[in-house]
């Protein structure tokens, strides 16, 4: 069974989220540029960060394929 995390939905309750999705969201947040009033900066991603993101995206695609196969196997 996949590991799950709890995420606040900002409405005094929590959502259950797969750990892979939580990691991907965190990486997206960390890669977003921080708004600055005086100047704008370009953020360059390190190769290991990009590789890690690609790995997570492939895991998510794999998970989605497995779920689709399971749904096809269920009787309608």
Mean pLDDT value across residues 1-9: 77
Query: How much is the CA Rg of the chain, to the nearest whole Å?
Result: 17
Distance CA 40, CA 55 (A): 30
Domains in the chain: boundaries? 4-73
| Torsion over CA: 12, 32, 39, 47 (sign) | positive
pLDDT, position 10 = 76
- Per-residue pLDDT for 35 more than 80? no
Q: What is the pLDDT of residues 40-75, one digit of tens each?
A: 555 566 677 777 778 888 888 888 888 877 777 776
**Residues with Cβ within 8 Å of residue 42, at least 6 apart in sequence:** 33
Helix (H) or strand (E) holding 14: strand 14-18
pLDDT, position 53 = 78
């Amino acid at each position: 069974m996949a590991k799950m995390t709890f995420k606040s939905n900002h409405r005094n309750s929590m959502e259950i989220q797969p750990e892979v999705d939580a990691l991907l969201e965190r990486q997206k947040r960390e890669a977003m540029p921080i708004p600055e009033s005086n100047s704008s900066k370009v953020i360059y991603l390190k190769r290991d960060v990009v590789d890690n993101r690609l790995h997570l995206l492939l895991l998510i695609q794999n998970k989605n394929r497995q779920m689709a196969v399971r749904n096809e196997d269920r009787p309608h």
